[in-house]
Amino acid sequence: MKKVVIIIFILLLSSIKIYSDNARYVTHKAKKGDGITTILVKYNLQVNKFNVDFFKENNKTNLNSDFGLYIGKEYFLPIRIFKYDGKSIRSSLEINDLEFAKKIQSYNMNLFRKKIKNSDYKIDQEIWLPLSFDNEKSNENSEKITNKIDNKKIKENIPRNIVEPLFGEKYKNVTVSSNSLSNCIFYLISGHGGPDPGAIGYKDGNELHEDEYAYDVTLRFARKLMENGAEVYIIVQDENDGIRDEKYLNNSSNEYHINKKPIPLIQKDRLSERIIIINDLYNQNKSKNKKQYCVEIHVDSRYTGQKVDIFFYYQNANSEGKKLANALMTTIKEKYDKAQPGRGYQGSVSQRGLYTLRKALPTTVFIEIGNIQNPRDQIRIIESNNRQAIANWLCDGFIYNSMGK
Ligand SMILES: [Zn+2]
């Protein structure tokens, strides 16, 4: 079935270096029913552009106008033949990469088992090397190197401890115990702050300020992300507050931005300053080659009677943001279904042209965790366990999203 032919004319047809010698290629004599695809599959080659183009290009004179084959004709395949030197695949091919050599070995063994190749390469002294392997090789090597570095990093760094004073005395020690999000950078914005308390709700004689609750959830979320190896920038900060377990959070107006500047009173200035900070950091961090996300958390106000489940906005025309927002929503839904069966979850995902979403360079989601005026939503916000659960679930959503599900 297979016959080896010296190909000389190939060098005229292609500029790729590998063809520029009198290399030998595997050939196949066409039988009834053979086509380009079936032959590639038979020889365990991928039906991709590279292999199909090679086939068409190098068998031009033996193909009809529909690229059909003629029975009995001999066709060149994108598999080069090397002489086995009696020692190893690596020395025969003058390569160092053991993994690559193993891949070539198993390719040859498999074709021998399939009876496509007549004998073992150690016997017929022929090593078959698909050209596409060589194409893939450089990419694979660089991936392998990256994996090695990552594994090393994991070994060195887990578990490790970080101290983040912003979390307050009780929570400032963070143990990084997983690397699930070690390829991610987060910019977290808790809505409002400084001179702007955001929405205000009332419960049992207490004023609930949106900025304080959003800040507490944001800190808990930040801590959770850090436990999973993420690099986190907390854009709005208040060193006096930390993570608080009380129901009624003390209201303050001394929050500032991560650059230690006060938060501007005018909304337009406030939002644009945050974006400038985040986009600068984004550009500085680009070389780290990590995924960069911006998350903005709010507890806004609707009319009192309206209960609002956690919902998400993503950036216009950002498919990654949309996918992310959906992953977060799905996670929250699953968590609710488990924690409170029958409760139902009415969250939603939509796009919106909010300033942060329009201007931020990282993939950005805007999260509303409830209606600060609604009595049932208030329970979600004032119980610290609930605030922690929201933070945990959002973090799980990111992990779920980063796993590509
Ligand atoms: Zn808000």
Given a cut of 60, whether residue 10 has pLDDT beyond it is no
Ligand 1 centroid–CA 82 distance in Å is: 68
Task: Give the C-alpha distances (Å, rounded to integers) separating 210 from 157, 221, 332, 352, 365.
Answer: 37, 16, 21, 21, 18
- What is the set of domains in the chain, with CATH numbers? 2-141 (no CATH), 158-402 (3.40.630.40)
Ligand 1 centroid–CA 209 distance in Å is: 10
Q: Give 95-107 as a DSSP string.
A: ---HHHHHHHHHH
Ranking 22-36, 81-95, 105-119, 141-155 by mean pLDDT, the lowest is: 141-155
Given a cut of 80, whether residue 141 has pLDDT beyond it is no
Q: Stretch 270-285: mean pLDDT, rounded?
A: 94
pLDDT at 138: 45
pLDDT at 29: 93
Q: Output the six-digit token pair for 368.
A: 């509303």
Ligand 1 centroid–CA 301 distance in Å is: 8
- The pLDDT > 90 percentage for the chain reads 55
Ligand 1 centroid–CA 299 distance in Å is: 6
Ligand 1 centroid–CA 369 distance in Å is: 10
Of 14-18, 84-88, 187-191, the range with the highest mean pLDDT is: 187-191
Q: Stretch 245-270: mean pLDDT, rounded?
A: 92
Given a cut of 80, whether residue 193 has pLDDT beyond it is yes
**Which residues lie closer than 8 Å to 129 by C-beta, 6 or more apart?**
79, 80, 81, 82, 93, 104, 107
pLDDT at 137: 52
With H, G, I as helix, E, B as strand and everything else as coil, classify residue 187: strand
Ligand 1 centroid–CA 171 distance in Å is: 25
- Of 233 and 67, the structure prediction assigns the larger pLDDT to 233
Ranking 132-146, 155-169, 245-259, 274-288 by mean pLDDT, the lowest is: 132-146
Given a cut of 50, whether residue 9 has pLDDT beyond it is no
Ligand 1 centroid–CA 12 distance in Å is: 67
Given a cut of 60, whether residue 375 has pLDDT beyond it is yes
Ligand 1 centroid–CA 308 distance in Å is: 14
Whole-angstrom Cα distance, residue 232 to residue 59?
57
Ligand 1 centroid–CA 305 distance in Å is: 18
Task: Label the pairing between strands 200-203 and 363-368.
Answer: unpaired
Position 404 confidence tier, pLDDT thresholds 50, 70, 90: low
Given a cut of 70, whether residue 4 has pLDDT beyond it is no
Position 351 confidence tier, pLDDT thresholds 50, 70, 90: confident
Position 206 confidence tier, pLDDT thresholds 50, 70, 90: very high
pLDDT at 153: 41
Ligand 1 centroid–CA 1 distance in Å is: 73
Q: Stretch 252-264: mean pLDDT, rounded?
A: 91
Position 216 confidence tier, pLDDT thresholds 50, 70, 90: very high
Ligand 1 centroid–CA 188 distance in Å is: 14
Ligand 1 centroid–CA 139 distance in Å is: 46
Ligand 1 (ion): residues with CB under 5 Å are: 191, 198, 298, 300
Find where tokens 């032959």 sit. 39
Ligand 1 centroid–CA 298 distance in Å is: 4
Ligand 1 centroid–CA 368 distance in Å is: 8
pLDDT at 302: 77
Ligand 1 centroid–CA 191 distance in Å is: 5
Whole-angstrom Cα distance, residue 96 to residue 101?
8
Ligand 1 centroid–CA 179 distance in Å is: 32
Task: Count the neighbouring beta carbons within 10 Å of the beta carbon of residue 376.
Answer: 10
Ligand 1 centroid–CA 84 distance in Å is: 70
Find where tokens 């303050």 sit. 252
Ligand 1 centroid–CA 180 distance in Å is: 30
Choose among 397, 382, 377: nearest CA to 224.
Answer: 397
pLDDT at 33: 86
User: Chain-wide mean pLDDT for the chain?
Assistant: 85
Choose among 118, 134, 117, 133: nearest CA to 46.
Answer: 133
